[in-house]
Structure 1
Amino acid sequence: MKILKLLLGAAAIVCTINLAHAQAPETELLEEYASPGVRGMGKGKGIVIGYERVPQFDITSDAKDPRLQDGSGRVRRHNKFDVKLNAPILNKPQTKLIFGIDYKFEEFNFEDVTPAAYDLYEYLEDKNLQSIGAQVAYLHSIDNRRFYLVRLKGELNGDFTKDDINVDLFDYFKSTVDVAYGWKKSPDYAIGVALQFGYTFGRKSVYPAILYNRTYNDRWGVEAIFPANARVRYNVNDKTLLFAGYRLEGASYNLYVDEGPLSEFGEIELRRTDVKGVLRLEREIYDFLWFGVEGGFRQYYRNRIFDEVGSKDEILDNDLSGAGFVKFEIFVVPPRRFMEKNK
């Protein structure tokens, strides 16, 4: 489990590096100041809207507490929706301060859910498991070889409603701090190390990661934050990119169950871990507007319920069968006039 936690933490750091790259045009990377981006990487994403669907798969639940029973069922679909916005507060060649906000939710739809169905499945049916986050990232280039990055992020994660936010805001709040230090070996090669301190996957922990971005020629490159994310990039042309690789994803949600056997525990926590094999296409629609489509196989490694937030005491261990998935995105990137101006 310790190794798994390290993997998950590294996965969370991916968004920190990507957030910095969002405001580091590749034309600026080549000369004076170092940054995580390399030649050939896609343009930084300022606004992203995405939708993901996983179709039918089986679920079984193994009770770890005598007050609960085992259960089984079938999920008709698992939907995820997210919106992200990144914008520079300070955008100087050597120093960048970036503000980002995001909103996402996921929901499960089960087959044959009735009042007599398994308690957890009945509770999760059409329930929006939400996350609202805000972050600030500071990227500073020490010189043309070295850079460092600091990110602060706060999130509200759970099955909350508008009324809950007004009354119990801090019950859902979790914070993280990311720090990274890197070296720009050339315009085509950047490496670095990173640490995260926070509650991204439930209990407070420290997670390490290694950054490796490299472009080998005009067509091929690798973008990775080991061990949680790695993909091979193929540049078809300036308007089309192809990727193949894998990534780890995870989340934790605070749940307030007020009916059925689970209500005996009050506030509980759902933590999940997924491993994805991914094929992805990114294509320009018009100048600053792009779309992305990806698909592959999603293996649910862990999906567990704990008796309280941050606890080690597991009360349900859910086994979710692997399944294919598809995701669609539309996103806004810096327009060509902006990129040419930065030259």
Structure 2
Amino acid sequence: MKTFLYFALGLMMSSASLAQEIDNLITPYRPKIAEFSMETLREYDTSTSSESFGSADNEVERDRLIKAKIGIPFLIKENWMFGIQLKYYQHQFTLDLEDQPTDYDLYLHLNAKKFTSTGIRTFYQRDIKDNQQLRLIGGAELKSDQIKWNANTTKYFISSTYTWQRSSRTQIGTGFVLNQVMGRTVFYPLFIYEKQLTPRWTLDLTLPKSAAIRYRANERNFITASADIRGWRYNLTNALEDSQRDLTLRKVDLQFSLSWEHELHDWLWFGLDIGYTKNLQYHLANPGDSSKDALIDIRSKDATYTKFSVFIVPPRKFYR
């Protein structure tokens, strides 16, 4: 069972960095092995502009994202491990078409469809030397309003990180992310820095994606303040009457949040996040095109954010 714990710790490094154990009497922040969550943005205005398709305004009454994911180990050896993570996300928009009726194709399509992001990622971790680790993550996802697999609806990705322990309280690392997503190649480097500031406070940086400071109130409660760059892409099928083909809807936000994680029963936890989201980029384009070649530019007002989650972590006894 201890090897399963090591696998879980490594697998979830793709989405969250780990706090360091101060001594044998303190249980560190435990990563999520499986999670179910619901995220909601409420009541924000949007406006569109396009030379070809015109302009329109509307209000998004609810922007809801439901997530489910689970990690599964397959091969675990003394100094390396291999496993997979399965995910399923469903994204739905509800627009104010009663008070603001519209015949704008994009708004009608967003209101009528559910968008799915589902896929698999593989995980490999090897201990290179004492206090040094190499991690490789790769996978494929379908991101679309219809279940169809082609170059316009899929994402393939690989990520690698190399981390080392500089001291008992400090871990640093570097790496990269390479995505082939809906006809577009995206590459960026990663810098990882984790510092145990005090027995209760930890600083976690995964730049340029996220920055967080975590407070351990006690072994059953953690509070985290964070800033994250978050985004998504979906394929839209025949969304515009005058453009019956696959198109890519792309959104990037800067999200500030405050989260509380509370232990319900050792390995079972509950999470509540509240925050504020500022839109950085939003557009509809042909697959592979960037924002400067967008068919429709979209402006989205700032919005408040909430998230409720239930998740599973490794039991506390494995840390004793």
TM-score over 0.5 for the alignment? yes
Q: 1:325 is matched by which residue type in structure 2?
A: Y
Distance 1:320 1:207 in 2: 25
- Let me know the Cα RMSD of the aligned residues: 2.6
Distance 1:202 1:45 in 2: 32
User: CA offset at residue 139 of structure 1?
Assistant: 1.1
Aligned runs of 1:166-205 on 2, under 5 Å?
168=149, 171-200=152-181, 203-205=184-186
Q: Deviations over 1:17-44 (max 9, x none)?
A: 624879x8967x999xxxxxxx865212
User: CA offset at residue 188 of structure 1?
Assistant: 2.1
Query: Contact between 1:50 and 1:328, CA under 8 Å: does it hold in 2?
Result: yes
Q: Deviations over 1:199-224 (max 9, x none)?
A: 35862021111001111221111111
Match of 1:232? 213
User: CA offset at residue 169 of structure 1?
Assistant: 5.0
TM superposition outliers: structure 1 runs of 4+ over 3 Å: 19-22, 24-27, 113-116, 168-171
Q: Aligned in 2, Cα 1:280/1:318: closer, same or farther, shift over 3 Å?
A: same
Q: Aligned in 2, Cα 1:123/1:45: closer, same or farther, shift over 3 Å?
A: same
Does 2:50 match 1:50? no
Match of 1:75? 60
Q: 1:317 is matched by which residue type in structure 2?
A: D
Query: Contact between 2:34 and 2:313, CA under 8 Å: does it hold in 1?
Result: yes
Scaled by the length of structure 1, the TM-score of the pair is 0.82
User: CA offset at residue 291 of structure 1?
Assistant: 0.8
Query: Contact between 2:52 and 2:295, CA under 8 Å: does it hold in 1?
Result: no
Q: Larger relative contact order (C-alpha < 8 A, sep ≥ 6)?
A: 1
Q: 1:117 is matched by which residue type in structure 2?
A: D
Scaled by the length of structure 2, the TM-score of the pair is 0.88
Query: Contact between 2:153 and 2:182, CA under 8 Å: does it hold in 1?
Result: no
Query: Contact between 1:67 and 1:261, CA under 8 Å: does it hold in 2?
Result: no
Does 2:287 match 1:309? yes
Match of 2:253? 274
User: CA offset at residue 227 of structure 1?
Assistant: 2.2
Query: Contact between 1:95 and 1:138, CA under 8 Å: does it hold in 2?
Result: yes
Distance 1:83 1:119 in 2: 30
Match of 2:197? 216
Q: 1:151 is matched by which residue type in structure 2?
A: I
User: CA offset at residue 94 of structure 1?
Assistant: 2.2
Residue ranges of structure 1 left out of the alignment (5+ in a row): 1-14, 32-38
Q: 1:219 is matched by which residue type in structure 2?
A: R
User: CA offset at residue 193 of structure 1?
Assistant: 0.6
User: CA offset at residue 85 of structure 1?
Assistant: 0.5
Query: Contact between 1:119 and 1:261, CA under 8 Å: does it hold in 2?
Result: no
Distance 1:184 1:21 in 2: 17
1:154 corresponds, among 112, 119, 140, to 140
Distance 1:53 1:202 in 2: 29
Distance 1:116 1:241 in 2: 45
Query: Contact between 1:223 and 1:232, CA under 8 Å: does it hold in 2?
Result: yes
Query: Contact between 2:64 and 2:93, CA under 8 Å: does it hold in 1?
Result: yes
User: Which is worse superposed, 269-278 or 81-90?
Assistant: 81-90
User: CA offset at residue 90 of structure 1?
Assistant: 2.7
Q: 1:286 is matched by which residue type in structure 2?
A: H
SS at match of 1:80: strand
Does 2:226 match 1:245? yes
Identity of aligned residues (%): 23
Normalized per residue, the structure richer in helix is 1
User: CA offset at residue 88 of structure 1?
Assistant: 1.9
Query: Contact between 2:61 and 2:94, CA under 8 Å: does it hold in 1?
Result: yes
Does 2:262 match 1:283? yes
Match of 1:333? 313
Q: 1:301 is matched by which residue type in structure 2?
A: L
Match of 1:36? none
SS at match of 2:272: strand
